[in-house]
Amino acid sequence: MKTIGIIPGSLRAASFSKKVGNALLGMAPEGVTFKIISIEGLPVYNQDFDDHGPLPESYAAFRSEIKALDGVIFVTPEHNRSVPAALKNAIDVASRPYGKNTWSGKPAAVFSNSPGALSGFGANHHLRQSLVFLNMPAMAQPEVYLQHINKDFDESGKLINDDTRKFLQKAVDAYIAFFNKNTP
């Protein structure tokens, strides 16, 4: 059984990234488990924690959780044409200390979303820059930009837009094929 982490890049309780992540849970094929990975509760990365301690328990737990994954789907909103600070912090926490990058080699996909028309384009590509350094092969096609995402869910957080559901399923299927080609 392979485990793919789904990392919503937002801390907001009613986050669209969390709603998308939850919608993806039911799209995993047989033999694959999708698991939501929370980035909440991680103090801002500070190398002094690694060099001099004490290491926050949340760092150790998060690093272990990432290390145990076989692949990752990042679901990110856009903040100021980039990824949210909380997501960048989570990336930094699990990539340090230098030489102990727990992300390395894990096939990745980036699904960005926005209530606006640009659909998180800037965040999507900014995150891809980090993935190169992290040594994470990233799925190139299909590109996943979810615009006007605020119209795709009901009040309870259920995905109600069938076109979006079909598109996400195609993207998940493409990611699984990419994952299989990029996993030893």
- Contact between 176 and 29 under an 8 Å Cβ cutoff? The reply is yes
The phi and psi torsions of 21 (rounded to 5 degrees) equal -55, -45
Task: Tell me the torsion sign for CA atoms 63, 137, 118, 164.
Answer: negative
Indicate the pLDDT class of residue 118, thresholds 50, 70 and 90. Answer: confident
9-42 pLDDT, tens digit each? 999 999 999 999 999 999 999 999 999 999 999 9
What domains can be seen in the chain, in order of their start residue? 2-181 (3.40.50.360)
- Contact between 109 and 100 under an 8 Å Cβ cutoff? The reply is no
**Residue 25: count of CB within 10 angstroms of its CB:** 12
34-81 pLDDT, tens digit each? 999 999 999 999 999 999 999 999 999 999 999 999 999 999 998 888
Average pLDDT score over the chain:
96
Per-residue pLDDT at 120: 87
